[in-house]
Amino acid sequence: MKKVIIGILTVLIIVTVTIFYMRINETAEYKNKGNKLIEKIESYRQRYGELPDNVTELGIEEEMGEGPYYEKIDSVKYIVYFNIGFDNSFIYYSDTKKWEWTP
């Protein structure tokens, strides 16, 4: 009986660690892709003194899928985000300069 419990606990620990590792890796990939878009947006802002209205002004064709997507909020704020699945988003807020997961 002890061997069965130890086996089950071992499997649960391995699954938990694997899921945690995959989530960290996924987050790093999204940040990397999103930060490239943020760099282009900030370069545009420095060059023209304003935010682009959309990514086509950055010379990028918006792709369908997870993202990254750009949305101008007002003259100084914007978000860059990924749509993951049906309900989750990973969003960068330019005013706080932070990435956040949103369910």
What is the per-residue pLDDT across 13-35, written as a single tens digit (0 to 9) for each? 999 999 888 888 889 999 999 99
Give bridge partners of residue 78 from the DSSP assignment. Answer: 72
Check whether 51 has a pLDDT greater than 80: yes
Domain count, the chain: 1
**63-95 confidence digits (pLDDT tens):** 788 889 999 999 999 999 999 888 899 999 999
Instruction: Compute the CA torsion angle 82, 83, 85, 90 (nearest 10 deg).
Output: 50
**Tally of residues, the chain:** 103
What is the span of the domain harbouring residue 10? Answer: 2-102
Number of neighbours of residue 35 by Cβ within 10 angstroms: 14
User: Phi, psi at residue 73, to the nearest 5°?
Assistant: -85, -50
